[in-house]
């Protein structure tokens, strides 16, 4: 709304192309919003920015929205929202399931995330993709986009020959390994057999050939293995409160039949060259150390396909069959070159039209206290499920200490919400591109920018309602005190926050926003008595508290974090 009005004023002042660049004000004395686009516009028009700012302000119609607009510094425009406007907006947000956000131009967006390799159990390396992707999917869905979740699991390749061969072997030995309760051990044992026995290794290789040739019997075993492995993943998703289900799985195997087609289409497009027996696409824009065009192998000398080939098949499918507008790949930043090259080939070969946006949403490494990638004490990979169990145990200990009188069931429920919430929030509150240190004590602290702090802030607001006897859910909001205004102005920024999360795919914008709301609420709570005030003032403050609770609950839910009524 404000953006559109400033945009119109810029046009009237002779800068129709310039972006308004509306941002929440950096300090309360700068008002609530700042329009920072004038300087850029003045540069383009080669005119004095202060003068341009004056023209923009003269043309700016914020009747009923702002009660003061001023020019600061070289040409910033500071906008002070009118209390009346904030009051009406807050009332509307309270009445609406979507907190008053306006409908977006809906896009069909795929969020591809988690995507573990099924040969092994999920480990901590899968945490970031799973929770960042899930938060992005939730936010986009809430904004009104048509979201397609995708779990591009690694369920194909030579390892699966070895694993199915081993499955047969231990079943024959009468071992009921169907449960495969420990995939890690299963993999290790299979690998050991493979390395020690020539005969077993030959059988494993034979299984690969049969698997790829579509042999029914081997395919059936493979499907059983995949099913068991997916059940392990689902247990993790369930515990993590991540919304990935079986129907979102479309693994690498699904593109197997498309791979020869990809090769033919690349050939027809004139993109394929032969290099040492392999079929390769050379990309001019990527250079090797010797400044030669870089080659991306599409089919190996032995006829095998690669990770990239499968990804090309997936893009082609996502365009042709799913007709997506935007595809987001939430994958470790270390794969950035892979994605850049793969996207480039897609454009050249026409697998994806320019109108379908392809974005690699990378993220940094989760590290241990020693500043090295997170490992067990002995240097092994940490199973994700074990990490999550530990989070719950630690939260359980904290809760039991804080509130020994709670029942066992209550403690368990709180421990799950707090423990898992803490792990997720510690991740989602940081810029995804940075590496971060995983530290139990910091993430489980009840002070600071943590999940327990926000969850606790929510229960504090809810406790106001448990004490208040009569609450009028339709009471008008009246804003007079500065603390009320600051809180209401921040609450009005929920929509803008979600829009920027969706645009840049940065969940930490939402985390930081919620932390700000919790902080502003406690200032409001201190400065403006709620239950001790009377009449319209009391009713209005209860409404602001209700909108705060609703914003915290909705926002945390969009991050995939549970709230509790009491803790």
Q: Is 495 in the site for ligand ARG (CB under 6 A)?
A: no
Minimum distance, C-beta of residue 85 to ligand ARG, in the bound complex (Å):
45
| DSSP string covering 269-324 | TT-EEEETTEEEEEEEEEE-TTSPEEEEEEE-TTS-B-HHHHHHHHHHHHHHTT--
Q: Is 154 in the site for ligand ARG (CB under 6 A)?
A: yes
Minimum distance, C-beta of residue 314 to ligand ARG, in the bound complex (Å):
6
Which of 30, 255, 329, 456 binds ligand ARG (CB under 6 A)? It is: 329
- Which residues, 6 or more positions from 122, have their beta carbon under 8 angstroms from its beta carbon? 116, 232, 233, 236, 383, 384, 385
Residue whose C-alpha is closest to residue 383's, from 117, 123, 188, 120: 123
Q: Is 318 in the site for ligand ARG (CB under 6 A)?
A: no
CB closer to ligand ARG out of 142 and 343: 343
Which of 152, 326, 432, 508 binds ligand ARG (CB under 6 A)? It is: 152
Q: Is 326 in the site for ligand ARG (CB under 6 A)?
A: no
- Which residues, 6 or more positions from 209, have their beta carbon under 8 angstroms from its beta carbon? 161
- Angle between the 408-428 and 508-527 helix axes, to the nearest 10 degrees? 120
Count interface residues toward ligand ARG (CB under 6 A): 10
CB 559 within 8 A of CB 428: yes
- Which residues, 6 or more positions from 111, have their beta carbon under 8 angstroms from its beta carbon? 133, 136, 137, 140, 147, 148, 149, 150, 328, 330
Q: Is 121 in the site for ligand ARG (CB under 6 A)?
A: no
Number of Cβ within 10 Å of residue 441's Cβ equals: 8
Q: Is 534 exposed, middle or buried (0-12, 13-18, 19+ CB in 10 A)?
A: exposed
Question: Three-class SS of residue 567?
Answer: coil
Cα(420)–Cα(221) distance, integer angstroms:
35
What track of x and - describes contact with ligand ARG for positions 200 through 239 (by CB under 6 A)?
----------------------------------------
Q: Phi and psi at residue 412, in whole multiples of 5°?
A: -65, -40
Minimum distance, C-beta of residue 151 to ligand ARG, in the bound complex (Å):
9
CB 252 within 8 A of CB 204: no
- Which residues, 6 or more positions from 93, have their beta carbon under 8 angstroms from its beta carbon? 99, 100, 491, 492, 494, 547, 550, 551
* Structure tokens belonging to residue 251: 């693994």
CB closer to ligand ARG out of 134 and 484: 134
CB closer to ligand ARG out of 191 and 338: 338
Cα(33)–Cα(70) distance, integer angstroms:
11
Minimum distance, C-beta of residue 156 to ligand ARG, in the bound complex (Å):
10
Which window, 3-11, 45-53, 115-123, 451-459, contacts ligand ARG (CB under 6 A)? 115-123
Minimum distance, C-beta of residue 315 to ligand ARG, in the bound complex (Å):
9
Tell me how many degrees the CA angle 334-340-342 measures, rounded to the nearest 5.
110
Q: Is 500 in the site for ligand ARG (CB under 6 A)?
A: no
Question: Three-class SS of residue 438?
Answer: coil
CB closer to ligand ARG out of 311 and 495: 311
Q: Is 361 in the site for ligand ARG (CB under 6 A)?
A: no
CB closer to ligand ARG out of 341 and 543: 341
CB closer to ligand ARG out of 77 and 314: 314
CB closer to ligand ARG out of 98 and 108: 108
Q: Is 313 in the site for ligand ARG (CB under 6 A)?
A: no
Q: Is 149 in the site for ligand ARG (CB under 6 A)?
A: no
Minimum distance, C-beta of residue 114 to ligand ARG, in the bound complex (Å):
9
Q: Is 116 in the site for ligand ARG (CB under 6 A)?
A: yes
Q: Is 158 in the site for ligand ARG (CB under 6 A)?
A: no
Q: Is 295 in the site for ligand ARG (CB under 6 A)?
A: no
Which of 91, 311, 427, 496 binds ligand ARG (CB under 6 A)? It is: 311
Q: Is 157 in the site for ligand ARG (CB under 6 A)?
A: no
Q: Is 560 in the site for ligand ARG (CB under 6 A)?
A: no
DSSP assignment letter at 383: B
Minimum distance, C-beta of residue 310 to ligand ARG, in the bound complex (Å):
8
CB 122 within 8 A of CB 154: no
Task: List interacting residues with ligand ARG (CB under 6 A).
Answer: 112, 115-117, 152, 154, 311, 314, 329, 331
């Amino acid at each position: 709304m404000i953006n559109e009005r400033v945009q119109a004023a810029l046009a009237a002042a002779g800068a129709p192309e310039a972006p308004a660049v509306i941002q929440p004000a950096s300090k309360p004395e700068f008002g609530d919003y700042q329009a920072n686009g004038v300087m850029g516009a003045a540069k383009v028009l080669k005119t004095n920015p202060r003068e341009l700012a004056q023209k923009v302000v003269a043309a700016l119609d914020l009747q009923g929205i702002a009660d003061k607009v001023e020019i600061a510094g070289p040409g910033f425009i500071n906008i002070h929202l009118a209390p009346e406007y904030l009051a009406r907006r807050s009332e509307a947000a309270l009445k609406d399931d979507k907190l008053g956000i306006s409908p977006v131009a809906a896009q069909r967006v795929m969020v591809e995330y988690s995507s573990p390799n099924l040969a092994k159990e999920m480990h901590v390396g899968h945490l970031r993709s799973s929770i960042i992707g899930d938060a992005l999917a939730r936010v986009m869905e809430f904004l009104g986009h048509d979201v397609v979740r995708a779990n591009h699991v690694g369920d194909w390749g030579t390892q699966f020959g070895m694993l199915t061969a081993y499955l047969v072997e231990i079943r024959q030995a009468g071992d009921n390994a169907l449960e495969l309760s420990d995939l890690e051990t299963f993999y290790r044992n299979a690998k050991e057999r493979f390395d020690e026995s020539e005969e077993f290794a030959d059988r494993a290789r034979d299984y690969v050939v049969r698997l790829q040739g579509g042999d029914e019997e081997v395919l059936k075993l493979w499907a059983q293995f995949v099913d068991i492995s997916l059940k392990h993943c689902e247990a993790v998703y369930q515990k993590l409160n991540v919304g990935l289900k079986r129907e979102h799985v479309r693994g690498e195997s699904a593109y197997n039949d498309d791979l020869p087609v990809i090769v033919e289409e690349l050939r027809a497009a004139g993109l394929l060259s032969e290099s040492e027996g392999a079929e390769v696409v050379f990309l001019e824009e990527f250079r090797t150390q010797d400044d030669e065009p870089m080659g991306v192998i599409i089919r190996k000398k032995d006829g095998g396909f690669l990770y990239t080939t499968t990804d090309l098949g997936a893009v082609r499918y996502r365009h042709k069959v799913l007709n997506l507008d935007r595809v987001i790949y939430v994958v470790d930043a270390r794969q950035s070159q892979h994605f850049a090259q793969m996207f480039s080939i897609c454009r050249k070969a026409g697998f994806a039209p320019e109108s379908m946006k392809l974005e690699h949403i990378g993220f940094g490494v989760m590290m241990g206290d020693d500043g090295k990638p997170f490992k067990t004490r002995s240097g092994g990979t940490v199973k994700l499920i074990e990490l999550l169990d530990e989070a719950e145990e630690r939260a359980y200990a904290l809760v039991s200490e804080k509130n020994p009188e709670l029942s066992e069931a209550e403690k368990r429920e709180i421990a799950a919400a707090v423990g898992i919430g803490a792990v997720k929030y510690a991740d989602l509150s940081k810029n995804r591109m940075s590496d971060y240190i995983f530290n139990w004590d910091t993430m489980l602290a009840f002070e600071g920018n943590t999940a327990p702090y926000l969850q606790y802030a929510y229960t504090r607001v809810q406790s106001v309602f448990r004490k208040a006897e009569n609450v009028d859910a339709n009471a008008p909001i009246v804003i007079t005190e500065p603390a009320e205004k600051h809180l209401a102005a921040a609450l009005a920024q929920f929509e803008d926050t979600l829009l920027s999360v969706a645009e840049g795919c940065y969940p930490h914008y939402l985390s930081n926003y919620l932390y700000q709301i919790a902080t502003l609420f406690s200032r409001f709570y201190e400065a403006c008595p709620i239950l001790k005030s009377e009449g319209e003032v009391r009713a209005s403050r209860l409404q602001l508290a209700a909108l705060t609770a609703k914003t915290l609950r909705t926002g945390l839910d969009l991050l995939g974090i549970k709230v509790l009524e009491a803790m």
